[in-house]
Amino acid sequence: MTEKQKMLSGGMYDPGDAELLELRKIARRKTELFNATPRANILERTELLKSLFGSTGQKIYIEPSFHCDYGENIYIGENFYANFNCVILDVAEVRFGDNCLLGPQVGIYTAMHPLAPGERNSGLEMAKPITIGDNCWIGGHATINPGVHTGNSVVVASGAVVTKSFGDNVVIGGNPAAIINEVPGS
């Protein structure tokens, strides 16, 4: 297996691999260009994002600054919005359903490091995919950790640290996040 194949399958991989370094370099160039493109050039900004991501719906909008590792492992549904300073570490796949909203400074992290110091010091990494369902709203400063899957119509409170998966129609918050309410009208 290549290091990229290991990475995408959730195995231990070497992030210093030449192919992975080049893919991250390409993503950095595209995000730097996106972040520097004036708001008035909305079509150009949208096309840059669509060329960066694995797939997108037609209607997507992200405020700069935006940062990711690879971009090609991010799949976005229709009617997507991310506010300022969003970071998506897409070492594994990150999938968003339709009608997802992200507040400012949301962090979505698939990347993981070994717990044991010897393994961690080796420089090897691993990752777990993240899936966000349809009609989800992630509040500002929320963190979504590796392996999390949310159902549809989930609201993540501002500042929440989501360490496990949740089903449909819930409001979650806290650190670690827990169900604090049901979504009205569900």
Helices then strands (H, E): number in the chain?
A: 4, 17
Helix, strand, or coil here: 125?
strand
Helix (H) or strand (E) holding 33: helix 18-36
Q: Is 113 a catalytic residue?
A: yes
Cβ contacts of 27 within 8 Å, gap of 6 or more = 52, 68, 69, 70, 71, 72
Buried b (16+ CB within 10 A) or exposed e, 87-103: bbbbbbbbbbbbbbbbb
Please state the separation of Cα 108 from the chain's center in Å.
4
Active-site position among 67, 113, 141, 149: 113
- Residues labelled catalytic: 113
